[in-house]
Amino acid sequence: MALQTPTPSASSAQSGVYKLDLSEVLSSILLDDTDFLSEVGVSGDAATQTKHSWIEDALNATTIKQTAGNSYLSGTSSTVIVFSANISRITAGTLLRDQISGTVGEVVQVTAVNGVSATVTRGYGSSSPVAHASAATYDIIANPRPQGMTGPADESTTRSLVYNYTQIFSKGVNLTGTALAIEHAGVSQEDDYQIDLRLRELKRELDRTLIMGIRAPNDVTTGTYGTMGGIIEFCSFLNTGNLVTTAETLTPSVLNTLAKKCWDNGATPSFVLVGGVQKQKISTFDQEYRRSTLDTRRAGYTVEEFVSDLGVNLRIIVDRWMPNDVCIVGDMSRVKVMPLMGRAFSLEKLAKTGDRELWQIVGEYTAEFRNADKAFASHLNLKQ
């Protein structure tokens, strides 16, 4: 007989409806998956403030981009390039090579820097001059120094302060004396059972927030709702360095492109985070190459790792709560979940109120996504 547990209007009605299934087996659909949270884990570190901050730093850039619409190496004789950023990375003597295919044969050497302009010698060494496109990106091969130099300029960069807020996660359990006293089908102790369900719900809520959370717009104070930002916000909205929004189907080429965006910035991509729809697409990537024997009695296939064309293995994390049009590739070592000091999930029995027993489960957590603009690449608007 199927279990029937209509919601009682009062505790006095519970004894008449709670024990209907004599099999003593309780069946329920929990939907308590926490796959991304399970992969990340909870750090042994703890936040010390509701506004949790961390310092980010990076090595100097190894590329420099010409500013479109200004002087550039349009032919084989022009010698002035106007750059848009990282001009402090080049000096007299610097060797530059255009990244664009077809023009990588020429190396130029900087002879002077004035403001955002650099004067160069064309066809350095064994290379030959070729025409370069506007807005070309140049690799900074090296910054050779002359003999007897007086000393190079300081190239220290300013560290950035990044932050996330803590968020309180809480559930309550409120049971009447009657509910605690009567016998329930499949449940040995009603309070333990309800507390277990609420804890599962809190873990699920933390997992969903780790993915879809939005950081509070203001500092958290008494009476305000502190909310922590999740991975989608940090690598798609707050940081757009590796964001792709093209409406396209997820393919091996798309995944390889996302992995390379992280790799180009110095990160080591190690995971792919997707929902159910995109996971199904990943599992058909090499479908046409699969073979089975005639006596095969099982059908079906899944992919747990994707080997990128860079030789990097990406673990596939499928999370029930991940939006179906989003895919994120990233470096797992840059993700951290932690509680506020002394505020990990804990169960507390509250003061008794009349003929009722009250409990609360409460925890306060935040997350770090370090170097999110470089260590992660996100694709929104994927076809479903």
146-169: pLDDT as tens digits: 898 888 888 888 888 999 999 999
pTM exceeding the 0.85 threshold for the entire prediction: no
Average pLDDT estimate for 70-89 = 88
Closest listed residue to residue 199, CA positions, set 237, 169, 174 = 169
Is the pLDDT score of 8 beyond 80? no
Residue 144 to residue 156: CA distance in whole angstroms: 18
Place 375 in a pLDDT band, splitting at 50, 70 and 90.
Answer: very high
pLDDT digits (tens, 9 = 90+) for 12-50: 444 444 444 445 556 667 777 889 999 999 999 999 999
- The residues with which 83 forms a beta bridge, in sequence order, are 66
Residues contacting residue 228 through CB under 8 Å, at least 6 positions apart: 164, 165, 166, 167, 209, 213, 215, 216, 365, 366, 367
Which amino acid, 171? K
| Averaged pLDDT of the chain | 86
Q: Per-residue pLDDT for 143 more than 80? A: yes
Report the pLDDT averaged over residues 86-103. 84
Q: Which residues of 183-194 are buried (b: 16+ CB within 10 A; e: fewer)?
A: ebbeeeebeeeb
Mean pLDDT of all residues in 232-260:
94
| Type of residue at 197 | L
Report the pLDDT averaged over residues 178-197. 83
Tokens for 322, please give them.
């991940």
3-state secondary structure of 99: coil
- pLDDT grade, residue 313 (50/70/90)? very high
Please tell me the distance from the alpha carbon of residue 62 to that of residue 240, in angstroms, as a whole number. 20
Backbone angles phi, psi at 316, to 5 degrees: -85, 120
